[in-house]
Amino acid sequence: MPATVLAPSLDQTVSDLHGHPVIEEMARDLLGATPDMMATLVHETGEPTFRLICLANDRFAERTDGKHGRKLGTVAHAVLARIAELRVEAHTRLLAALPDTVTETYAAELEARQAVREMWRHGFPRCPLTRYAEAAGRAADAIALELANNPGTRTVLALRANLAHPEAGRTPRPSAKAGRAALRALDRVGRHRRRSHESAAALILEATADVVADTFLHAYETHGVEPSEIERLHDLRITGRFPSDVTDDIRQLVFLTGDLIALAEAYDWASESVIWAAQNTFTNERDAAETQ
């Protein structure tokens, strides 16, 4: 969200409302709003529309026995400021969940790129840094391969790509485009993948089911949530009844699952096809882990 410069007096009144439970409630309600909905509430400059100002004032007054912000737009500005904070907090938690090996692979890749720049600067290919660049590249490739075989890491990477898409968190209708963004981040829908499948539909079913299975496993191992609960929350999402007390971590997993299912449905697969295949993979992987 673009930074907004406020007049000192308005800025102070907005700060005074920081942490107010009603502001928190309204911010969390709007956190999952669709881009189309937010477009009616926030100008491109980041300023609240008159509609949001009125809605926020009315809700605040209703919850506080008739009180209003001291200046017009105070409540709306406070709500938008809290939404921005919540988005930053969500991304911070997501980054904190990344394993150390993710940081290592980024470092190795940066070293490889720097080495290439140095080689061109000193005259490629007769440069003593050639071996260094090759070694750094091999290290990055090896770590990337290790990460690709880790269900938890795959889920985190898929979540990051899904959350970054403009249609992420759309309700009640999931976004197939956001689901495809998650698959692209995992390199599951490239041309080289397509060659090994009979059709694009077959590729999409396999890819979506695999990532949903990873999501199930991540939810179970990290949060103790069964796949059936993810399915139940997905059903509530698409019927417009998603509960407000679900934590952000679980909400993101449910929305990722729904977006992947929406992508499969765009290729004429029934949602049950994805769920059943993912459930089967989840059960096999969980049983294998528990027997070790």
**Residue 47 DSSP code:** P
Q: Pick the closest to residue 255 from 193, 156, 131, 170 (CA basis).
A: 170
Under the banding of pLDDT at 50, 70 and 90, the label for residue 156 is confident
Alpha-helical runs (H) found in the chain: 8-16, 21-31, 35-39, 50-63, 74-96, 100-122, 130-148, 151-164, 176-185, 191-194, 200-223, 227-238, 248-266, 271-291
DSSP letters spanning 86-134: HHHHHHHHHHHTS-HHHHHHHHHHHHHHHHHHHHHHH-SSS-TTHHHHH
Query: What average pLDDT score do residues 258-266 get?
Result: 95
- CA–CA separation, 54 and 57 (whole Å): 5
pLDDT at 142 over 80: no
The model's pLDDT over 46-96, given as tens digits with 9 standing for 90+, comes to 788 999 889 888 888 888 877 665 566 888 888 888 888 887 777 666 656
- Domain limits of the chain? 8-96, 100-148, 151-291
Contact status, residue 76 vs residue 14, Cβ threshold 8 Å: no
Q: Which of 34-43, 61-70, 185-194 has the lowest mean pLDDT?
A: 61-70
- CA–CA separation, 56 and 76 (whole Å): 6
Angle at 91 between CA 89 and CA 92, to 5 degrees: 60
The model's pLDDT over 229-253, given as tens digits with 9 standing for 90+, comes to 999 999 999 998 888 889 888 999 9
CA 145 to chain CA centroid, Å, is 22
Under the banding of pLDDT at 50, 70 and 90, the label for residue 1 is very low
